[in-house]
Structure 1
Amino acid sequence: MRLSKPEYVTETVLAVFRTYGRLIDWGDRFVAPFGLTSARWKMLGALALSHQPLTAPQVAASMGVSRQGAQKQLSSLIMDGLVAKHPNPHHQRSPLCQLTPKGTEIYAAIEHSWNAHAEELCADLNLDDILAAQRVLATLYEKHATNAE
């Protein structure tokens, strides 16, 4: 039986939910040798990919997590010496965070391992499908934006 377009969208969203859970579990195992979890990896990634210091709310927004969730993970990373906190000249109560040399080194090692994994994934995916998936996910993301974003 052929599904309606809304039913296909529903199936796609359900697949995203299932995939997210599986990626988090996989990511926890993937970064465990580096002493991290998926949640902490996301925070390091946000800082590494920004190429500039960020506040906890900026990190949260870039990774689609709550400000409180980002703050909790950043505090843990600060305690472990992977992230440094600096005064923010624009907002006294929202310090800027950036990777320390140790954080940069660990993130680079994870990125190296990830790139090898991404190459393996490419064996089963063609570029047109990857680009189509990016477009669909971007549309779903935009259609579900809140006024707070």
Structure 2
Amino acid sequence: MTSDNPNPVDPFDSTTPQYRAYFPEGSRDDVEFRLTRILSLSARRWGTHVENRMMAATGQSRSRWQTLFVLSVATPPITTSLLSARLAIQWPPLIRTLNSLESDGLIRRVENPTDKRSRYIEITAAGRAVVEQVQPILSDIRTKVFVNLSMQEMELATRVLEMVVAGVNEAQQDNDE
């Protein structure tokens, strides 16, 4: 992927006076902005790269294989509400994905015997086969993307990102109150 940015190491033009008017050099605001910007940029690029590779190799969209993967590792029974929370997506797009997966025979929805308003979602053997097809591709992508990171760096990055997610969750709860 090519970029119009003459300095891809600094995708924010952080040395310009316009940038520094918002974010003085070395300030917490500067570091917070660059961190959130690189989080967004890396997530978007990761998602696009994985989506393109997965579609080409398996024909499965990200929403489909991520849903199947979560179902494949979950302890049954799993409800739509629980699946929605684990995927961090809202109901309308999840329901569309579930409808598509069910029509393709990759999942089935069964009645919840304790709550008639709720249904359990189960992955089928065909759905597990898709997960088995997806996993080696994801593993290869991760290996190539993280080749220059040590185990310690990946563990540190994971801890930092977990703290970011926790901070976002706390901020959302504060806004909900």
Q: Judge same fold: TM > 0.5, yes or no.
A: yes
Q: 1:139 to 1:35 in 2, by over 3 A?
A: same
Runs of 4+ in 1 over 6 A off after TM superposition: none
Q: Percent identity?
A: 18
Select the residue among 143, 155, 177 that pairs with 1:119: 143
Q: Is the 8 A contact 1:47 1:53 kept in 2?
A: no
Of 78-87 and 16-25, the range deviating more from structure 2: 16-25
| Equivalent of 1:49 in 54, 70, 73 | 73
**Shift in Å, 1:121:** 3.2
Kindly indicate whether residue 80 of structure 2 is the aligned counterpart of residue 23 of structure 1: no
Q: Distance in 2 between matches of 1:131 and 1:13?
A: 19
Aligned residue in 2 for 1:4: 27
1:14-93 correspondence runs (5 A): 14-32=37-55, 33-93=57-117
Q: Which residue of 1 aligns with 2:128?
A: 104
Aligned counterpart for 1:13 among listed residues 23, 32, 36: 36
Matches of 1:29 and 1:53 in 2, distance apart?
A: 32
With normalisation by structure 1, the TM-score equals 0.87
Superposition deviation, residue 109 in structure 1? 1.3
Aligned-residue offset at 1:49: 2.0
- In structure 2, stretches of 5+ residues that fail to align are 1-14, 16-24
State the shift of 1:52 in Å: 2.2
- Partner Cα separation in structure 1 for residue 114 and residue 50 of structure 2: 35
Find the aligned partners of 1:139 and 1:39 in 2 and give their Cα distance.
Answer: 25
**Separation in 2, partners of 1:73, 1:11:** 34
Shift of 1:78: 0.7
Number of equivalenced pairs: 148
> TM-score scaled by structure 2?
0.75
Give deviations 1:19-46, integer Å, cap 9, x for gaps. 2222222222122132211111211121
Q: Is the 8 A contact 1:60 1:69 kept in 2?
A: no
